[in-house]
């Protein structure tokens, strides 16, 4: 599978940019009863992790966050356009970074988190793609 097929121009699920296009700030920030996060918060969460994985793939030894809650930024309604554009642009950035890497070569420096130890470029783009599809 091609990097862009999983991250940007997806075929197995809705393409992220098209899915979010036209979503108003009010709708993105709306909390539906019984659901813990708004669309804007979910997108900010996905952007948080895709950007962290991109920085790791670029060779930055950024440690894993201390708490999962830190990966769920608060998003005000007026921030929605920036969150959406940052997420979509971040997908493009991640795709460009990992396309330049040997898909089977381990990311260096290696991830300190045991479950990610030995991750390759392919693991990074598959992880991010699956995480995004999950949400």
Euclidean distance between CA atoms 109 and 57, whole angstroms: 9
105-126: pLDDT as tens digits: 999 998 888 888 889 988 988 8
Instruction: State pTM to two decimals.
Output: 0.89
Euclidean distance between CA atoms 52 and 34, whole angstroms: 29
Q: What is the pLDDT of residue 132?
A: 82
Q: Judge residue 19's burial from the number of C-beta atoms within 10 Å of its C-beta, 0-12 exposed, 13-18 middle, 19 or more buried.
A: middle
Contacts of 84 by beta carbon, 8 Å cutoff, 6+ apart: 20, 23, 28, 40, 43
CB half-sphere exposure, 6, CA atoms < 13 A: 20
61-86: pLDDT as tens digits: 988 888 888 899 889 999 999 999 99
22-44 CB burial, b ≥16 within 10 A, e <16? ebebeebbeeeeeeeebbbbbbb
């Amino acid at each position: 599978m091609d990097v862009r097929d999983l991250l940007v121009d997806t075929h197995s699920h809705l393409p992220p940019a098209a899915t979010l296009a036209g979503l108003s700030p009010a709708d993105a920030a709306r909390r539906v009863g019984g659901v813990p996060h708004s669309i804007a918060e979910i997108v900010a969460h996905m952007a948080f992790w895709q950007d962290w994985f991109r920085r790791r793939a670029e060779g930055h030894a950024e440690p894993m966050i201390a708490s999962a809650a830190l990966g769920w930024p608060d998003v005000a309604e007026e921030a929605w356009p920036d969150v959406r554009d940052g997420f979509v642009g971040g997908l493009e950035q991640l795709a460009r970074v990992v396309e330049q890497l040997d898909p089977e070569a381990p990311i260096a420096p290696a991830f300190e988190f045991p479950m990610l130890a030995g991750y390759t470029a392919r693991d990074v783009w598959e992880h991010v793609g699956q995480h995004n599809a999950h949400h």
